[in-house]
């Protein structure tokens, strides 16, 4: 599995490709990257933790959570500073 590029880290869309086969998930990601380019975050999660066919719920959840974090970071970079101040005011956090 390869790490997402810097451009992918700022992407709005993230896809976790899940399969019972690690090789199949990696192949789907390889093909999708050729079509979509580096701006789409694609993460293969396939096979059981021991490398056999199957699924590993912990790995799936971990990767899905990682995509959510990338999206949150992206949105945080692009939220207007005034909007953040208004949110702090609304939440009673002014002066903190």
Residue 25 contacts residue 56 (beta carbons within 8 Å) = no
- For residue 49, give Cα distances in angstroms to 26, 52, 54, 69: 15, 7, 8, 23
Q: What share of the chain is helix, strand, coil (3-state, %, to 5)?
A: 55, 10, 35
Give pLDDT tens digits for 1-41.
444 444 544 444 578 888 999 999 999 999 999 998 888 88
Is the pTM higher than 0.75? The answer reads no
Residue 57 contacts residue 48 (beta carbons within 8 Å) = no
- Record the tokens describing residue 81, joined without a space: 């500073």
Give pLDDT tens digits for 35-90.
988 888 888 889 988 989 998 888 887 777 777 777 677 666 766 666 767 677 76
Residue 9 contacts residue 70 (beta carbons within 8 Å) = yes
């Amino acid at each position: 599995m390869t790490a997402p590029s810097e451009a992918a880290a700022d992407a709005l869309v993230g896809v976790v490709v899940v399969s019972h086969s690690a090789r199949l998930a990696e192949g789907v990601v390889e093909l999708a990257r050729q079509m979509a380019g580096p701006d789409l975050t694609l993460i293969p999660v396939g096979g059981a933790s021991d490398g056999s066919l199957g699924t590993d719920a912990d790995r799936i959840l971990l990767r899905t959570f990682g995509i959510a974090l990338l999206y949150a970071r992206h949105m945080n970079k692009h939220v207007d500073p005034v909007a953040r101040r208004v949110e702090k005011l609304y939440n009673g956090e002014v002066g903190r």
